[in-house]
Amino acid sequence: VQTAFAGAAMGTTWNVKILAPGELGDREQQAGAAIRDALEDVNSKMSTYVADSELSRFNAHRSSDPFPVSAETMAVFVEAKRIGELTGGAFDITVGPLVNAWGFGPADRREDLDQAALDELRSHTGWDKLLIHEGEGTLVKLDPELYCDLSAIAKGYAVDRVSAALTAIGFPDHMVEVGGEVYANGHNGEGRPWRIGIEKPDSVAGMQRVVGLDGLAMATSGDYRNYFERDGKRFSHEIDPATGRPVEHRTASVSVLEPTCAAADALATGLIVMGEERGYQRAVELEIAAQFLIREGDGFVEKTTPAFDRFAGPLQ
């Protein structure tokens, strides 16, 4: 029997489907609680919108004294650093002040940023200003102004946590989606892998491709969900750490398939910052399953890596 759960968390919506051999009965409540507890745990530790989250307290900690964090938060920082290195610094959790200044953060304001203001903000960003002591469970700021934002990886990590919680209580066949990031394992009610669509990035909803996921996550990063236009230019919420400015290239979205949703989430962000040339090249080198949708005229062209083609069926 396939049972669906849904709700809101982490500033977005979530949907979970579970396949169980028979009626869930009392176990429906157990499954619902496991889902909500996992989401709440991640949010309470890693949200910049929760004033007393571990992340908010670390951001408010204006000192280079080691700051202790939970194993969960540490795991996300370690994975973020790994993806940062894989993408040549394009995935960078320290660009939060720039995200905020361009009007995409918790403070919903948009400033006209001159180069001097950008340079000042950028001087307090960068992986080199953060030390991650995994063994000791501490984070160290080498610049007291350093501010970290995990929003491009925490949703994916939350998906992984929900999936692990469901498997632990005896529901290995499930599909978990939080804010568009998805992980699916096993089979759906029809005995087939869970089928997930990749949206077309335009104002008209419509699926670009359908991918079967079994033991795989898929995340999409796109400039079509969160952007503003000024003087005919489109500014996306993806900030290029190298310039401090929103990216301005033709890549409309990047979808990534990975064994974990945290990795898929962060890689999709890093690759869209890199764009259709550098990002595509890097994805091919690393054998990442990625689909790039690139603006051309009034439409889009698709560019996929060989690894993506192995997982995904032909274009719909």
Task: Please write the tens of the pLDDT for every residue from 299-308.
Answer: 888 999 999 9
Among 15-19, 20-24, 127-131, 137-141, whose mean pLDDT is lowest?
20-24
Q: In this structure, which topology does domain 193-316 adopt according to CATH?
A: T-fold (3.10.520)
**Per-residue pLDDT for 192 more than 60?**
yes
Q: What is the pLDDT of residues 125-137, one digit of tens each?
A: 999 999 999 999 9
Instruction: Note the pLDDT of residue 114.
Output: 82
Higher-pLDDT residue of 245, 55: 55
**Per-residue pLDDT for 194 more than 70?**
yes
Instruction: Note the pLDDT of residue 316.
Output: 47
16: helix, strand or coil: strand
Q: Which residues, in sequence order, are bridge partners of residue 236? A: 227
Higher-pLDDT residue of 54, 203: 54
**Per-residue pLDDT for 3 more than 90?**
yes
In sequence order, the 6+-apart residues with CB closer than 8 A to the CB of 15 are 4, 5, 6, 175, 176, 177
Higher-pLDDT residue of 68, 119: 68
Inter-CA distances, 124 with 23, 81, 107, 112, 266, Å? 54, 17, 18, 19, 21
**Per-residue pLDDT for 233 more than 80?**
no
Q: What is the pLDDT of residues 42-67, one digit of tens each?
A: 999 999 999 999 999 999 999 999 99
Using alpha carbons, select from 154, 266, 258 the residue that is nearest to residue 213.
258
CATH number of 1-48+153-181: 3.10.520.10
Instruction: Note the pLDDT of residue 315.
Output: 54
Instruction: Note the pLDDT of residue 101.
Output: 85
- Computed over every residue of the chain, the mean pLDDT equals 91
Q: At what angle do helices 71-86 and 27-46 cross, to 10 degrees?
A: 70
Instruction: Note the pLDDT of residue 104.
Output: 76
Inter-CA distances, 198 with 92, 201, 221, 274, Å? 25, 9, 11, 20
Segment 14-34 shows an average pLDDT of 92
Phi, psi of 309 (to 5 degrees): -60, -30
**Per-residue pLDDT for 268 more than 90?**
yes
In sequence order, the 6+-apart residues with CB closer than 8 A to the CB of 292 are 251, 253, 254, 271, 276, 279, 280, 302, 303, 304
Are 1-48+153-181 and 193-316 equal in CATH topology?
A: yes
Q: Are 199 and 205 in contact (CB under 8 A)?
A: yes
Higher-pLDDT residue of 114, 50: 50
Distance CA 283, CA 297 (A): 25
Q: Domain-by-domain residue ranges, the chain?
A: 1-48+153-181, 54-141, 193-316
Q: In this structure, which topology does domain 54-141 adopt according to CATH?
A: T-fold (1.10.3980)
Per-residue pLDDT band at 297 (split at 50, 70, 90): confident
Per-residue pLDDT band at 236 (split at 50, 70, 90): low
Instruction: Note the pLDDT of residue 83.
Output: 98
Question: What percent of the chain is predicted at pLDDT more than 90?
Answer: 71
